[in-house]
Amino acid sequence: MSVKLPIGPIHPMLKEPINLTFYVEGEVVVDAEPNIGFVHRGIEKLAERKTWFQNLYLLEKVCGICSSAHQGCYAQGAEKIYEKEPPEKALYIRTLMWELERLHSHLLWLGVIMHEIGFDTLFMYTWKDREYVLDLVELISGRRVGYSISTIGGVRRDVTYEMLKKAMDVANYIAERAQFYEKVVLNERTVLDRTQGVGYLSKTDAIRLNTVGPTARASGVRRDVRQDMPYGVYEEAPFSIVVDTGCDVLARILVRIREMVISADVIKWIVFNMPKNGAINLKISPFMKPPENEAISRVEAPRGELFYYLKSNGSLNPERIKIRTPTLANIASVIHMVKGHYIADIPPIVAGIDPCMSCMDRVVIVDVNKEKKTVMSHEELHRYSLKWYKRNKLLVREERR
Amino acid sequence: MSICEEISKVFGDKANCYVDKFGEAWVEISIESLKEVLGYLAKNGFDHLSTITGYDTGEKIMLVYHLVKFTDGRAVNVNVRTFVDRDNPIAPSVIDLYPSALVYEREVYDLLGVKFDGHPRLKRLLLPEDVPEDFHPLRKDAKFE
Amino acid sequence: MGACMPLLSRLKKWALKRSLWVFHLNTGSCNGCDIEILDLFTPRYDVERFGIKLVGSPRHADVLVVTGPITKKSLPRVLRVYEQMPDPKYVVVVGTCGSTGGLFQGSYNTMGSVDKVLPVDAYVIGCPAKPEAIIDAFVKLIEKIERGEK
């Protein structure tokens, strides 16, 4: 008979609070159910009361880690509503910031998942490297987190020669570090024990459950909004899709590391091909009313396909803004993936989809067979999972051989 | 043959298909033909459901299903629009065609009050459990204290 | 015994300000402030050299660092965490959302500011607050502990 195991958010420090109720039998998970809404701030309703230009700054705060993706996607959609095309140089700058954001987000995630499996050294290394990316972003936009670079009609700030030169240096440095991380991940016994064979999601399941982003690409699904529905300057840039057929957490790590190298290449291409002169902003008046339209905008955020639906009724306030974040799309796959795994495997599996969720809830483990109820905080689940793996390392290695 | 021509050929008058000025294909159908049209699209390569958008027009509630077909070249999008009554909003669940609708239908139920016939666990997704049953924030006449 | 009390309280203050143990609680924030708080413990800022440590349970914490505008669903959790913390305890709010409600004022699902729910000792404004500003808040909190205020 299975037991109900409500598990709170899985990482104490970064993600939205998500509460997943797990049904377990002994140590093995048999089913799961999501319970989210801890970060539901009513943004879609608030957006209806603000103007089109004010919403740029509201929607940026849907997620602090991929804020540029949200704002850029909204600006792209609003430009369709206003029926105006941004100037070419603006698209280059926007894409540059999108790729820098992908670098910072993947480094952040790499640190987080290494922390989940107990490898804190790599957590410190990746976050130190991330600081160089943040320095560059601060030079270009003025802020480390939440850059606010896009506006309806272009971008707000221009780039100078000094910024582009630094972008080249950062791109080269990160590409080199990514090779180092790939070597570490493939050779360290600690990492391989906890990630190889864990969280298996087959290609058919990934397509059936509509998984998006690097989680899908790690299962061999060749889908990326930058390739299938190009926007920005991705059609001309040397962008290539990164796919791995491992289908487990290790594959997800490798896909993201290789994506960092591709991002570094795109950044270097942008630096070389950025138009030297040209307007960066159409300077649309914030008091100009858009025509009645409905538009759809899709962007590849670091976590997957980000979807916006915008509707205008001819006034200064939008009629409807609908947002679908990539993590919501991946919840169905998480539920499928944890089935059949040990409780101790839950942190890396959930962290493996790179949930843009802050965690703050706790885990309730209910074992129906023994009729015992244990309540664990996320940190306690994290420590339990590390201790369990230390004790059962050899058993698990045998099983997974 | 473009997707619009294909749908008009198969469904005739039941579906009103057009391409808007941004190149997006829209299909307008009645709620009764929803499963038929989505079933046809799911069988013909449109296996990715981006999301289900709900919107209260004031007279009716509009539901839009955003579907994508990934090919070797560019992806093809189609958006299927349908309407349900405001006073008795019931729509058929499409979980058997698109399992990811499990989460999207709960969201539309939570924020707009549309009930999906056939959903195994239709309860609120985002708002706390103790909120009154008839409180759906995205409705035009939702009362806030 | 009476003569020991001032000595004990001075010892307590000295120990507290040298090693503040922090429990971080996210009540519905976008993660911007959270990643800046986490940045404090990474090599660039490294506040562990000052004795400030992140702990996993509120029962071990001296300071509760709160981010986010407190959504209705996370409210019971916030109150429970605060009750579990042993005295003396302090609350630091990081970010504009928690300090004043920020962008989410008027939303149907947020409480507004954190001080409607908990007694706050320090506010750090910023969206997100920079790590330097958060360190400044800790310094001001330590000065407050020195002065013996509550």
Chains that touch A (3 or more CB pairs under 8 A): B, C
Nearest CA in chain A to B95: A209
The answer on pLDDT for A293 being more than 50 is yes
Whether chain B has a CB inside 8 Å of the CB on A40: the answer is yes
pLDDT attached to residue A351:
79
* Residues on chain A touching B99 (C-beta within 8 angstroms): 208-210, 332
- Chain C residues within 8 angstroms (CB to CB) of chain B: 72-73, 108-109
pTM for the model stands at: 0.91
Instruction: Please judge whether A42 and C36 are an interchain contact, meaning their C-beta atoms are less than 8 angstroms apart.
Output: no
Task: Retrieve residue C57's tokens.
Answer: 């349970």
DSSP string for C42-97 = STTT-GGGGT-EE-SSGGG-SEEEEES--BGGGHHHHHHHHHHSPSS-EEEEESHH
Nearest CA in chain A to B123: A35
pLDDT attached to residue C101:
86
Cα of C73 to nearest chain B Cα, Å? 5
**pLDDT single digits (tens) C76-92:** 888 988 999 998 899 99
Provide the CATH number for the domain around residue A8. 3.30.390
Nearest CA in chain C to A37: C73
Q: What backbone torsions phi and psi does residue A348 show, to the nearest 5 degrees?
A: -65, -30
Say if residue A28 is in the same domain as residue A115. Answer: no
* Residues on chain B touching A44 (C-beta within 8 angstroms): 111, 138
Say if residue A145 is in the same domain as residue A78. Answer: yes
Nearest CA in chain A to B75: A228
What's the average model confidence in pLDDT over A303-325?
93
pLDDT attached to residue A352:
79
The answer on pLDDT for A12 being more than 60 is no
pLDDT attached to residue C1:
58
**pLDDT single digits (tens) C62-77:** 999 999 898 888 888 8
Q: Any residues with CB less than 8 A from the CB of B73 and at least 6 apart, and which? A: none
User: How far is Cα C134 from Cα C24, in angstroms, rounded to an integer?
Assistant: 13
Provide the CATH number for the domain around residue A309. 1.10.645.10
What's the average model confidence in pLDDT over B79-102?
92
pLDDT band at residue A10, thresholds of 50, 70 and 90?
A: very low
Q: Interhelix angle for C32-39 vs A120-141, to 10°? A: 120
Say if residue A320 is in the same domain as residue A340. Answer: no
Say if residue A285 is in the same domain as residue A146. Answer: yes
User: How far is Cα B48 from Cα A211, in angstroms, rounded to an integer?
Assistant: 9
pLDDT attached to residue A287:
93
Q: Is the preceding omega at residue C128 within 30 degrees of 0, hence cis?
A: yes
pLDDT band at residue A81, thresholds of 50, 70 and 90?
A: very high
The answer on pLDDT for A300 being more than 90 is yes
Q: Any residues with CB less than 8 A from the CB of A114 and at least 6 apart, and which? A: A120, A121, A122, A123, A126, A191
Cα of A28 to nearest chain C Cα, Å? 25
Asked whether A151 and A56 are in contact (CB, 8 A), the reply is yes
Instruction: Please judge whether B121 and A34 are an interchain contact, meaning their C-beta atoms are less than 8 angstroms apart.
Output: no
At which of A327, A345, A380 does a domain end? Answer: A327
Nearest CA in chain B to C73: B128
DSSP string for A298-344 = EEEETTEEEEEEEEE-SSSSEEEEEEE-HHHHHHHHHHHHHTTSBGG
Look at A219-223, A285-289, C146-150 and tell me which has the smallest mean pLDDT. C146-150
pLDDT attached to residue A360:
32
The answer on pLDDT for A2 being more than 60 is no
Say if residue A375 is in the same domain as residue A294. Answer: no
pLDDT attached to residue A380:
67
* Residues on chain A touching C32 (C-beta within 8 angstroms): 61, 64-65, 67, 145-146
Q: Any residues with CB less than 8 A from the CB of C38 and at least 6 apart, and which? A: A13, A14, A127, C24
Cα of C114 to nearest chain B Cα, Å? 19
Exposure pattern of A118-151 as b/e (b: 16+ CB <10 Å)? bbeebbbbbbebbbbbbebbeebbebbbbbbbbb
- Domains (ranges, CATH) in chain B? 3-86 (3.30.460.80)
**pLDDT single digits (tens) A56-72:** 999 998 888 889 999 99
Mean pLDDT of chain A: 85
pLDDT attached to residue C58:
86
pLDDT attached to residue A116:
82
pLDDT attached to residue A379:
66
pLDDT attached to residue A310:
95
**pLDDT single digits (tens) A181-212:** 999 999 988 889 888 888 899 999 999 999 99
Say if residue A373 is in the same domain as residue A288. Answer: no
Amino acid found at A366: V
Say if residue A311 is in the same domain as residue A342. Answer: no
Say if residue A28 is in the same domain as residue A58. Answer: no
Angle at A68 between CA A66 and CA A74, to 5 degrees: 110
What's the average model confidence in pLDDT over B40-53?
92
**pLDDT single digits (tens) A90-112:** 999 999 999 999 999 999 999 98
Look at A245-259, A366-380, B18-32 and tell me which has the smallest mean pLDDT. A366-380
Q: What backbone torsions phi and psi does residue B76 show, to the nearest 5 degrees?
A: -110, 130
Percentage of chain A with pLDDT > 90?
Answer: 58
* Residues on chain A touching C28 (C-beta within 8 angstroms): 16-17, 38-41, 358
* Residues on chain B touching C108 (C-beta within 8 angstroms): 137, 144
Percentage of chain A with pLDDT > 70?
Answer: 88
What's the average model confidence in pLDDT over C22-31?
87
Instruction: Please judge whether B144 and C108 are an interchain contact, meaning their C-beta atoms are less than 8 angstroms apart.
Output: yes
Q: Which among A149, A142, A76, A137 has a CA at the least distance from the CA of A105?
A: A137
pLDDT band at residue C8, thresholds of 50, 70 and 90?
A: confident
Say if residue A297 is in the same domain as residue A157. Answer: yes
At which of A327, A342, A377 does a domain end? Answer: A327
Say if residue A288 is in the same domain as residue A372. Answer: no
* Residues on chain B touching C73 (C-beta within 8 angstroms): 127-128
pLDDT attached to residue B48:
93
Task: Retrieve residue B29's tokens.
Answer: 């159908």
* Among the partner residues A17, A146, A356, nearest to C26 by beta-carbon distance: A17
If you average pLDDT over each of A28-32, A172-176, C145-149, which comes out highest? A172-176
Q: Is the preceding omega at residue C88 within 30 degrees of 0, hence cis?
A: yes
Q: Any residues with CB less than 8 A from the CB of A127 and at least 6 apart, and which? A: A107, A108, A111, C38, C39, C42, C43, C44
At which of A327, A362, A381 does a domain end? Answer: A327
pLDDT attached to residue A146:
87
Say if residue A231 is in the same domain as residue A172. Answer: yes
What's the average model confidence in pLDDT over A203-225?
93
Q: Write out A28-94 in H/E/C secondary structure.
A: EEEEEEEECCCCCCCHHHHHCCCCCCHHHHHHHHHCCCCHHHHHHHHHHHHHHHCCCCCCHHHHHHH
- Structural domain range at position A338: 3-39+330-400
pLDDT band at residue B140, thresholds of 50, 70 and 90?
A: confident
Q: Are strands B76-85 and B25-28 parallel, antiparallel or unpaired?
A: parallel
Q: Which among A386, A381, A357 has a CA at the least distance from the CA of A18?
A: A357
* Among the partner residues B53, B74, B126, nearest to A228 by beta-carbon distance: B74
Give the ipTM of the model, two decimals please: 0.94
**pLDDT single digits (tens) A114-159:** 988 888 899 999 999 999 999 999 999 999 998 899 999 999 999 9
Instruction: Please judge whether B137 and C72 are an interchain contact, meaning their C-beta atoms are less than 8 angstroms apart.
Output: no
Say if residue A108 is in the same domain as residue A186. Answer: yes
Mean pLDDT of chain B: 89
What's the average model confidence in pLDDT over A202-228?
92
Q: Provide the 3-class DSSP secondary structure of residue B63.
A: strand
Instruction: Please judge whether C73 and B128 are an interchain contact, meaning their C-beta atoms are less than 8 angstroms apart.
Output: yes
Nearest CA in chain C to A50: C103
Whether chain A has a CB inside 8 Å of the CB on C9: the answer is no
Q: Any residues with CB less than 8 A from the CB of B128 and at least 6 apart, and which? A: A37, C72, C73
pLDDT attached to residue A370:
56
pLDDT attached to residue A363:
44
User: How far is Cα A170 from Cα A162, in angstroms, rounded to an integer?
Assistant: 12
Provide the domain count of chain A: 2
pLDDT attached to residue A64:
86
Cα of B130 to nearest chain C Cα, Å? 9
The answer on pLDDT for A11 being more than 50 is no
For A259, the enclosing helix (H) or strand (E) is helix A249-273
User: How far is Cα A145 from Cα C36, in angstroms, rounded to an integer?
Assistant: 8
pLDDT attached to residue A19:
64
Q: Provide the 3-class DSSP secondary structure of residue A291.
A: coil
